[in-house]
Amino acid sequence: MRRFIPLAALAAHLCGCASATIDSTASVVAGEDALPTPLAATAERREALEFAFVDGWGLVLATPRVLESFPGALRTAKGRNRTVEPCRLEIARAAAPFGAAEVEAASLGPERLRADGLYDGLVEIRVIYGAGSHYEVRQSILRCTIRRDGSVVSAEPAEPRARPR
């Protein structure tokens, strides 16, 4: 089942909790896998959440998959991907009302120029929310689509795939 939610609520779903599509009408299509919000604000959860003490951060709430790599840097694959920064900025804007402490992004390979002149690229996004006594970390792979001027057309959950080495 899909529902429309405001763009500000985009920050309600990264790390396997909602699908989202950013469009020029400033709305989001939410369904089952993707963009940033504090985990506590989301009723639907596909993976169990865990608290862990992380050196330099303190108490962190995230899925086991995210905790395995946190706080290590996201790895960037080779090849030009001009969708990374516009997508990161759009997610940061949407996550800000939820208290995002940090938004990280990494390219998962070169962008693709579509026949309609838009650029598609895979981007891994990590959003770290300060939640008072702890941090909540959301992470997902998105397919970001931008116009030639760098404006974001959409950011949709992408199927998980093997990470580049």
- What proportion of the chain, given as a percentage, has pLDDT over 70? 68
pTM for the whole thing?
0.71
Is 129 a domain residue?
yes
Is 115 a domain residue?
yes
- Residue 24: partners with Cβ closer than 8 Å, 6 or more residues away: 153
Average pLDDT for 26-34: 34
Is 67 a domain residue?
yes
Is 56 a domain residue?
yes
Is 164 a domain residue?
no
What H or E segment, with its residue span, contains residue 130? strand 119-130
Counted domains in the chain: 1
Residue of 34, 162, 149 lying closest to 108 (CA atoms): 162
Q: What is residue 6's predicted lDDT score, i.e. its pLDDT?
A: 32
Q: What is residue 66's predicted lDDT score, i.e. its pLDDT?
A: 94
Is 81 a domain residue?
yes
User: pLDDT of 134-151, one tens digit each?
Assistant: 999 999 999 999 999 999
Res 5 pLDDT > 70:
no
Is 165 a domain residue?
no
* Spatial separation of the C-alpha atoms in residues 80 and 31, rounded to whole Å: 30
| Domain housing 108 | 3-157
Res 14 pLDDT > 60:
no
Least confident of 39-48, 82-91, 109-118: 39-48
Is 162 a domain residue?
no
